[in-house]
Amino acid sequence: MPPAGTATPDRRLQANALCAASMMVWAAGLPAADLLIPHVPAVWLSLMRNVLAAGLLLPLWWAFEGGRRMLRAPWLLGAALGWITLGLASILTIIAQDLTDAVTVAVFSASSPVVGLAIEVVAGRRRISAAVLAGLVLTLAGGLMASAAGALTAVTLGIGALAAFAAVVCYTLGSSLTVTALPGQSDIGRAALTIAGAAAIGAGLTLAWHLGGGAGPDWAALGRAEFGALLVYGVGAIGISQLLWIMGVSRFGIGMASFHLNAAPFYVMLILFALGEPWNWTQAAGAAVVALGVLIAQDRR
């Protein structure tokens, strides 16, 4: 991967398009998840979506690169990275929302660009310029507008807030390591390897949950709509979205890619608006501020 911040204009354009598309697809999974969460425990839901995503990406990986390359891949490392990115981060987010509320989780999620840039600075892959700092400030402001409508007074601190921030760190760090720690793998290989690894570890965790007497899915409550939502949630919001995300991160680093995470609430609002919900001008304005921050942070004049 080229050093962060050295991508050509065409490569930056590709990266921005890939990250934006990833967030759009990921956003479609949130309304779908609303149909599933009341009937499926979190550990089961995490396993189901990762299995579906792996069912999409593993055959694609085999078709593009062959079984021999798949067998030579570092599966243990991929499983560890996948669990950090798509397993542990998910569990921490659920814990955070259970102990606090959606506003607190959203506000701490808006810190992802800070975490992404910090990772690259510590690794020596980026220096903070005035343009990057200005873009960061705008992206944080836009993220707060888009995700929490500026409701900072509603933020609840404590263990739940710590879990929310830890989830952001796990996902951002895991995404960065998926690219930097697997240099010999293609983007589709990285995505498939980590998702399959997360599914494998999740299967063991779900088995332990079941043997320990944990609740299982309410299968009787899952109809055609719920199974359709599960396909959107697993194949789309995890499989396709994570592949696009890793492709974007590999092109210009986790620092710039993480700026796009703050526009995700706006994409959710667009989807809900298409389904009949009212338009939210605050979220729209927040998304515009995020976009401006992304442009300023990547200014090369």
pLDDT tens across 238-255, in order?
999 999 999 999 998 899
- The dihedral built from the CA positions of residue 90, 174, 244 and 115, taken in this order, carries a sign that is positive
Calpha distance 168→237 (Å, rounded):
17
Calpha distance 130→44 (Å, rounded):
45
Q: Is the pLDDT of residue 300 over 70?
A: no
Please give the average per-residue pLDDT across 109-132, as a whole number: 86
Residue 221 has what pLDDT? 94
Residue 177 has what pLDDT? 94
3 within some domain: no
When mean pLDDT is compared across 66-70, 144-148, 151-155, 229-233, the lowest value belongs to: 151-155
Q: Return the H-helix or E-strand segment holding 175.
A: helix 159-180
Residue 31 has what pLDDT? 81
252 within some domain: yes
The number of distinct structural domains making up the chain is 1
Calpha distance 138→133 (Å, rounded):
9
2 within some domain: no
Mean pLDDT of the chain: 86
1 within some domain: no
Q: Residue 299 — φ and ψ, nearest 5°?
A: -65, 135
4 within some domain: no
For residue 118 the two structure tokens come to 């910090």
* 175-191 pLDDT tens trace: 999 999 998 899 999 99
Beta-carbon contacts of 62 under 8 Å, excluding residues fewer than 6 positions away, are 70
47 within some domain: yes
What does pTM read for this prediction?
0.87
Please give the average per-residue pLDDT across 43-60, as a whole number: 93
Measuring CA to CA, which residue among 115, 82, 102, 112 is closest to residue 239?
Answer: 82
64 within some domain: yes
Residue 134 has what pLDDT? 87
Q: Count the neighbouring beta carbons within 10 Å of the beta carbon of residue 130.
A: 9
Q: Is the pLDDT of residue 107 over 80?
A: no
Domain that holds residue 141: 9-297
38 within some domain: yes
